[in-house]
């Protein structure tokens, strides 16, 4: 959160436009950190909130994969996005229902997010329209 806030301050100092989403995310993360330190927010509640956000990420990723196939006609990338989204959805649902799975969940989600980062990088580097 602090890093995002500092980046936005640097953008303001250099008279570059800042995005509301970046500013909001930075301040929100700082507030969440303060709430955790003061005991106003528990780690259990934060953990459930993060799982809910991850579930939303999986749903959005699956829908984005469908749009990538239908609109952008990039079938391989769309299929991979849909598979990753569905995997994230399945993992979040298993996390909510199987207590013994919770430790492995965080490792698996980290690997999936890393794979998606590589996929996103490949999409950016191979996109002929932006070159």
Burial, 106: exposed, middle or buried (Cβ in 10 Å; 0-12, 13-18, 19+)? middle
Which pLDDT score is estimated for 20? 81
pTM of the model: 0.70
High-pLDDT (> 90) share of the chain, %: 40
- Name the residue with tokens 């991979």: 80
Average pLDDT of the residues in 11-20: 82
Q: How many Cβ atoms sit within 10 Å of the Cβ of residue 7?
A: 14
Q: Which two tokens stand for residue 54?
A: 């991850």
Instruction: Specify whether the CB–CB gap between 65 and 85 falls below 8 A.
Output: yes
Which segment of 30-34, 44-48, 54-58, 119-123 scores lowest on mean pLDDT?
119-123
Please indicate whether residue 59 or residue 17 has the higher confidence score (pLDDT): 59
Which pLDDT score is estimated for 129? 67
């Amino acid at each position: 959160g602090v890093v995002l806030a500092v980046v936005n301050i640097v953008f303001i100092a250099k008279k570059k436009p800042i995005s509301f989403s970046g500013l909001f995310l930075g301040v929100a993360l700082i507030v969440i950190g303060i709430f955790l330190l003061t005991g106003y927010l528990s780690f259990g509640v934060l953990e459930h909130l993060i799982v809910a956000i991850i579930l939303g990420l999986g749903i959005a990723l699956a829908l984005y994969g469908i749009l990538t196939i239908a609109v952008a006609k990039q079938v391989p990338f769309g299929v991979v996005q849909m598979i990753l989204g569905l995997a994230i959805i399945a993992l979040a649902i298993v996390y909510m229902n199987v207590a013994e799975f919770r430790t492995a969940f965080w490792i698996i989600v980290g690997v999936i997010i890393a794979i998606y980062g590589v996929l996103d990088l490949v999409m950016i580097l191979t996109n002929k329209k932006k070159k």
